[in-house]
Amino acid sequence: MKTSSDPRHQKRRKAVQALFTWGFQHHKLEDSLANQTLKYLSRVDKLITECAPEWPIEQINRIDLAILRLALFELTVVKKEPVKVIIDEAVELAKEFGGDSSPAFVNGVLGTVLKKI
């Protein structure tokens, strides 16, 4: 059973926090997972734009955007974990860091991406 102390969850948690910070201050990040995600930022942001057309990137809550960027990087580039694990982690992170509508929004965007790819 996955717990909040699971090392993989903690790694994702730190990456989301780094990506969130990067959204305000575009500086080099110390987190390697976040840095890897940023290398594919244009590809990931294009997917977000295509799968959530009613939400321009600049209007998406920044923590939701950080979560989506990490999840889409894992889904489309890394492809190491099962899809359900990545989505579950993203929704859990949205529950932890986001607002009331964040889990549903993140889940909806990732579901649309899965249909597309």
| pLDDT, tens only, 57-105 | 999 999 999 999 999 999 999 999 999 999 999 999 999 999 999 999 9
Query: Quick check: is 2 in a domain?
Result: no
Distant-in-sequence, close-in-space partners of 113: CB < 8 Å, separation ≥ 6:
47, 51, 72, 75, 76
pTM metric for this prediction: 0.92
Q: Which residues form the domain of 11?
A: 7-116
* 1 part of a folded domain: no
CATH number of the domain residue 111 falls in: 1.10.940.10
CB 103 within 8 A of CB 94: yes
Give the count of domains, the chain.
1
Residues 16-61 have pLDDT tens digits of 999 999 988 888 888 899 999 999 999 999 999 999 989 999 999 9
Token pair listed for 28: 């080099």
Query: Would 13 be classed as within a structural domain?
Result: yes
Position 110, amino acid:
L
67 domain residue, yes or no: yes
The verdict on residue 22 lying in a domain is yes
